[in-house]
Amino acid sequence: MQETKTSSKSNAQTKRFDYTSVLDIAIGIVIFLVAWQVVFELKVYPYFLLPSPDMVLNEFVLLAKNGSLLLALYTTGYRLVAGFGIAIVLGVMVGFVMVTFRRFGRAMSSFALGLQSFPSIAWVPFAILIIGLTDWGIIFVMVISSVFSIMLSTYSGIRNIPPIYTKAAKNMGAKRLSLFRNVMLPAAMPSFVVGLKQAWSFSWHALIGAEILMATIGLGAILELGAEFARMDEIIAAMITIFVLGLLVDKLVFVRLEQSVRSKRGLSL
């Protein structure tokens, strides 16, 4: 009964937090739009450099009607899912190997930390020459930009597990695979989720940057075409789409995942 009450209270707090967060975002958007319209009316910049919100909305409608926006969303979406999925699998696997072989883990952690700070856009020329102007080239840039964050969060999360957890599991007969799946990974989940969220940000940045330079279809490609033909309304429309998508993924996936993990471990306030 007590657990049911605690769970109900936690769910109510989560819903209230969601509603408050949505309201704050809505207020921020309204303030931004009003300020944007005021700057446009004051003619601080020519209309072709700073179009009004209404002009950008019309460009949204045009891109939606001719199918360009839908095709760009689909193409960018499947690249994101494929690249980020590969990064998660590789990052978790290598992170577990780093924990298993301590000498490799110490060497790889320093190496990965250096590569994690490497600008994602710097991988684009390498990908173009080695892989080519293909989806796999873009996915490579995404993976190499985000996999090290997942690798390090997995490694540090498992290493920081209290030794009593693993000792107790081993005394109960848990083998290596069972120990990893049922003890290590759940205990490391809070740290892993933080790394996953950071890796998502790296992956999203890398994807848009790679699309600008390597793709003819996608949200990044719309930005590039807008710049090439001096279509600021098209550029802003693509930027807003990128912002909204990033915000939705963060709020609907990672914030809820983090709340769920914290709630299950009694870390919610």
167 in the same domain as 35: no
In which band, very low, low, confident or very high, does the pLDDT at 30 lie, cut at 50, 70 and 90? confident
With contact defined as beta carbons under 8 Å apart, do 56 and 113 qualify? no
Comparing 16-25, 39-48, 141-150, 199-208, which segment has the lowest mean pLDDT?
16-25
Confidence at residue 5, expressed as pLDDT on a 0 to 100 scale: 46
Residue 257 has pLDDT above 70, yes or no: yes
In which band, very low, low, confident or very high, does the pLDDT at 105 lie, cut at 50, 70 and 90? confident
Residue 246 has pLDDT above 80, yes or no: yes
In the predicted model, what is the mean pLDDT of residues 126-138? 87
Domain that holds residue 23: 1-44
In the 3-class helix/strand/coil scheme, how is the chain assigned residue by residue? CHHHHHHHHHHHHHHHHHHHHHHHHHHHHHHHHHHHHHHHHCCCCCCCCCCCHHHHHHHHHHHHHCCHHHHHHHHHHHHHHHHHHHHHHHHHHHHHHHHHCHHHHHHHHHHHHHHHCCCHHHHHHHHHHHCCCCHHHHHHHHHHHHHHHHHHHHHHHHHCCCHHHHHHHHHCCCCHHHHHHHHHHHHHHHHHHHHHHHHHHHHHHHHHHHHHHHCCCCHHHHHHHHHHCCCHHHHHHHHHHHHHHHHHHHHHHHHHHHHHHHHHCCCCC
State the number of CA atoms in the 13 A half-sphere of 105 facing the CB: 19
204 in the same domain as 155: yes
In the predicted model, what is the mean pLDDT of residues 218-237? 85
Specify the higher pLDDT residue, 130 or 164. 130
Confidence at residue 19, expressed as pLDDT on a 0 to 100 scale: 63
Residue 186 falls inside a structural domain:
yes
127 in the same domain as 108: yes
In which band, very low, low, confident or very high, does the pLDDT at 86 lie, cut at 50, 70 and 90? very high
Residue 123 falls inside a structural domain:
yes
Residue 40 has pLDDT above 70, yes or no: yes
The total number of structural domains in the chain stands at 2
180 in the same domain as 95: yes
201 in the same domain as 114: yes
Residue 269 falls inside a structural domain:
no
Confidence at residue 154, expressed as pLDDT on a 0 to 100 scale: 82
With contact defined as beta carbons under 8 Å apart, do 200 and 192 qualify? no
Confidence at residue 187, expressed as pLDDT on a 0 to 100 scale: 73
CATH code: domain of residue 87: 1.10.3720.10
In the predicted model, what is the mean pLDDT of residues 36-53? 79
Residue 31 has pLDDT above 60, yes or no: yes
97 in the same domain as 21: no
147 in the same domain as 35: no
129 in the same domain as 39: no
- As a whole number of angstroms, the distance between CA 237 and CA 143 comes to 27
Tell me: the pLDDT tens digits for 147-203? 888 888 888 877 777 767 666 766 666 666 667 667 777 777 777 787 888 888 888
226 in the same domain as 254: yes
Residue 59 falls inside a structural domain:
yes
Residue 82 falls inside a structural domain:
yes
Confidence at residue 7, expressed as pLDDT on a 0 to 100 scale: 47
93 in the same domain as 70: yes
Residue 15 has pLDDT above 60, yes or no: no
25 in the same domain as 122: no
Residue 11 has pLDDT above 80, yes or no: no
Q: b/e per residue, 50-66, with b = 16+ CB within 10 A?
A: bbeeebbeebbeebeee
With contact defined as beta carbons under 8 Å apart, do 207 and 220 qualify? yes
8 in the same domain as 139: no
Confidence at residue 20, expressed as pLDDT on a 0 to 100 scale: 67
